[in-house]
Amino acid sequence: MAGCCVVLGSFLFEYDTPRIVLIRSRKVGLMNRMVQLLILAYVIGWVFVWEKGYQETDSVVSSVTTKAKGVAVTNTSKLGFWIWDVADYVIPAQEENSLFIMTNMIITMNQTQSTCAEIPDKTTICNSDSDCIPGSTSTHSNGVETGKCVSFNESVHTCEVAAWCPVEDDAGVPTRNILPNITTSYLKSCIYDAQTDPFCPIFRLGKIVEDAGHSFQDMAVEGGIMGIQINWDCNLDRTASLCLPRYSFRRLDTRDLEHNVSPGYNFRFAKYYKDLTGNEQRTLIKAYGIRFDIIVFGKAGKFDVIPTMINIGSGLALLGVATVLCDIIVLYCMKKRYYYRDKKYKYVEDYEQGLAGERDQ
């Protein structure tokens, strides 16, 4: 208890004031200058030069518009010779910060609402009507079972369904691609290249996929999602013409087939019409393609007094670290630490108590 009172009394009734001691030591002096030099290098090199600590910064707010151009040609057993333009393979025509290019498809033509054989799998193959349950359906069904077992082909029977017939068979996927200084003539002739034309906003699909480290032919078969990253890092203390975008590309959908139930990227859409008798029909298309998501990053900075003064103040405060480090080494690590402690600290009694003691004597 007495010890606690002594500590409390020392805390309440004692005051520490700094005392400057000049230590003539090459080791300590050199160490002190080295620490100060490192702190100055950090403040000037990292904080002010690299991180531009003298600037007020803000992040990018953007809106991106996309446009696709070009034609393609196919020659298949179902469609024959067919020319595809932008209205055919860009679906939908406009998206927010995205662009989908159809590169592969499965077409089921002239579907009508009727009854037909379901696609064979382990749940739909049957031998008799007793194997089919009327009214049953599942997540992967194309329609509602009627309870009949019908012929799908010469060797396979499946349960009949009420659906859009003939049902889609997708078991086999067919394998079969602005800156102020930019002028109209340049846009008509340039194609993006990281080395020769890094600021051209016109890209070949194959080049984007290849720059991300993938094969365009492989990706066109089952589809995928590509990210087009646009990075704007602008120093507004310099001329605006130097504020230029940097493009990079990466694939966003997973390619780990063991942990991906449905690899690639696809969706279905239909075109509806009526035949001469008034019956509604449709052509169902399962579209495989590459979805391009445009992702914009970046920040802009401009000189401002407030962050400059804050970082200067922080840098000056850090210089005190050199003194603290040298004090620890001098007072606790060096051979003459007790000698330095005697020079560093001086104990003075209360002046008033000293005068009172002299008068009593």
Name 114's bridge partners: 163
Rounded distance between C-alpha atoms, residue 299 and residue 52, angstroms: 12
68 is in an annotated binding site: yes
Rounded distance between C-alpha atoms, residue 298 and residue 138, angstroms: 47
The residue type at 21: V
Rounded distance between C-alpha atoms, residue 314 and residue 319, angstroms: 9
Based on the number of CB atoms within 10 Å of its own CB, is 199 exposed (0-12), middle (13-18) or buried (19 or more)? middle
Q: Are 229 and 250 in contact (CB under 8 A)?
A: yes
The CB-side HSE value for 252 (13 A sphere, CA atoms) comes to 14
104 is in an annotated binding site: no
341 is in an annotated binding site: no
Give me Rg for the CA atoms of the chain.
39
Residue 327, both tokens: 């004090």
Helix, coil or strand: residue 219 = helix
Q: Among 278, 207, 290, which residue's Cα sits nearest to residue 248?
A: 207
69 is in an annotated binding site: yes
Q: Are 111 and 166 in contact (CB under 8 A)?
A: yes
Known binding residues for ATP are 67-69, 266-268, 286
Known binding residues are 67-69, 266-268, 286
